[in-house]
Amino acid sequence: MSRFAAELRLTAQRLDLPQPARSRVLLELAADMDDLFRHLRAGGMDDLTAHRDVLQDFDLSDEAIAELTQVHRGPARRLLDRLPVRRLELWERTLLVVMVAAALHTGGWLTRTVEVFRVAGPYAWPMLLLGAGLLALVSRKTYQLFIKQDHAIRRLRTGLAPVLGLAVAAIFLGFVLPWLDVFVQIRAATAAALPPVAAVMQWIIGATALLQLGLGLGLLGAMAWFGLAQKALRIEQHETDVLLNLPHSESEDLTCN
Amino acid sequence: MSRQDVTTQTLTRNCNEALILAALAGGPRHGYQLVLDIEARSQGYFVFKHGTLYPILHKLEKDGLIKGVWSEEGPRGKRKSYVLTGKGRTVAAKQRDAWRAFITHFQAAIAAEES
């Protein structure tokens, strides 16, 4: 562990950079700080003075932090940085509402035109609502991790569990809704005096469609969750790298490169 | 205005970049070595704080003038050193000429003021 680990952690809190850039900057700083410390010690300086001098020399001003941030941020993030925070939040929320509304509208159109949705009947709607929710959650997380590049550890996994939860719920509904449909179909068949075979056939068609929708939505949700969780994991690994790979500093080792 | 032009508006930035590129012309250097090298070459006239060095280094790296290389240096762990790229070498040469021209004109301007 670097003898400057505590100070580097404070610097890390000020560096609002996406990973892996943040870890790389910190590792570079840690290595150079330790090397300068060794150099000063080799020149005859005592431990305490060398430590203090290195900290003074490596003190990153707000201006330097801002410049580093500017260099490492992607074009999308630089564009977002130009917007005032309040206006950005308003834009984010509006965009999310528009996306969900568009998803529901498209869903409505699908239920009228596409065979699998049409056959599923009114039971397709809970599935579509679930799909719109899933789309909203995945979009929000994708925006946070890839466009806004907000890689703060405490917010990293927020919203990931609900994605997986909705994916599982879609599969669950795909199995449960057909059984609800059995009851409805049998009552309808009894009222219309349909032959039992025709009622069963109708149920099988509807049940298959619902199962397809549930499994399809569940699979897409699970894939999205996996991709986002992998990204979060990589970011966490970079954070861990910084904590574990900070170079060792031994005041006794006065070798200078 | 290109990177190799020296103007009064961009004087500090150009000066810092020229010093770093010139120091790297001597071979790969770590960040802390660059600071010490520039200080030694200028006989203590240009004293860089490391805090100001990294934004410049990373900008030069992003612009493709220098390249950062990570290496494992035994018990000391991972170290990043910088080397000049072909593009960086060309820009460094042009910057040298631009600085010579700037200094010549600057001296002439000062002399004119004195007389």
- Report the percentage of chain A scoring pLDDT > 70: 93
The band of A42, judged by pLDDT with boundaries at 50, 70 and 90, is very high
Residue A149 CA from chain centroid, whole number: 10
In which residue ranges of chain B is pLDDT below 50? none
**The pLDDT value given to residue A251:** 38
Q: Which of B30, B52, B59 sits opposite A32 (nearest CB)?
A: B30
**The pLDDT value given to residue A224:** 93
The band of A20, judged by pLDDT with boundaries at 50, 70 and 90, is confident
Amino acid at A62: D
């879609």: which residue's tokens? A170
| CB contact residues (below 8 A), chain B span 31-70, against chain A | 31-33, 35-36, 49-52, 54-55, 58-59, 62, 68
**The pLDDT value given to residue A190:** 78
Query: Poorest-confidence range of A16-25, A42-51, A119-128, B73-82?
Result: B73-82
Residue B46: DSSP 8-state: S
ipTM of the complex: 0.82
Partner B contacted by A34 (CB < 8 A): yes
**The pLDDT value given to residue A245:** 57
User: How big, in percent rounded to 5, are the helix, strand and coil portions of chain B?
Assistant: 65, 15, 25
Nearest-neighbour CA in chain B from A222: distance (Å) = 37
Q: Which domain holds residue A117?
A: 1-257
| CB contact residues (below 8 A), chain B span 82-111, against chain A | none
**The pLDDT value given to residue A252:** 37
**The pLDDT value given to residue A197:** 79
Integer CA distances (angstroms), A145 to A15, A25, A70, A152, A158, in order? 16, 19, 18, 10, 11
Nearest-neighbour CA in chain B from A58: distance (Å) = 5
Mean pLDDT of A146-159: 81
Nearest-neighbour CA in chain B from A153: distance (Å) = 24
Counted domains in chain A: 1
- What's the CATH fold of domain B8-114? Arc Repressor Mutant, subunit A (1.10.10)
pTM: 0.63
pLDDT digits (tens, 9 = 90+) for A105-132: 887 787 777 777 777 778 888 888 899 8
Residues A186, A188, A193, CA angle at the centre, nearest 5°?
90
**The pLDDT value given to residue A154:** 75
Quickly count: other Cβ atoms within 10 Å of residue A244's Cβ.
Answer: 8
**The pLDDT value given to residue A253:** 37
């996406």: which residue's tokens? A18
Contact A64 B75 (CB under 8 A): no
**Residue of chain B with shortest Cα separation from A257:** B33
Where do the structural domains in chain B lie, given as residue ranges? 8-114
Q: Is the pLDDT of residue A189 over 80?
A: no
Q: Is the pLDDT of residue A51 over 60?
A: yes
**Mean per-residue pLDDT over chain A, rounded:** 81
**The pLDDT value given to residue B113:** 57
Mean pLDDT of A80-97: 80
Q: With contacts defined as CB-CB under 8 Å, which chain A residues touch B76?
A: 31, 34-35, 247-248
Q: Is the pLDDT of residue A181 over 90?
A: no
Q: Is the pLDDT of residue A164 over 50?
A: yes
**The pLDDT value given to residue A87:** 79
Residue B49 CA from chain centroid, whole number: 13
Contact B55 A71 (CB under 8 A): yes
**The pLDDT value given to residue A225:** 93
Structure-model confidence comparison of residues A116 and A70, the more confident one: A70
Q: Which of B32, B59, B68 sits opposite A32 (nearest CB)?
A: B32
Coil vs helix vs strand at B29:
strand
pLDDT digits (tens, 9 = 90+) for A205-253: 888 888 888 999 999 999 999 999 988 888 877 776 666 555 544 433 3
Angle between helices A21-42 and B31-41 (to 10 degrees): 50
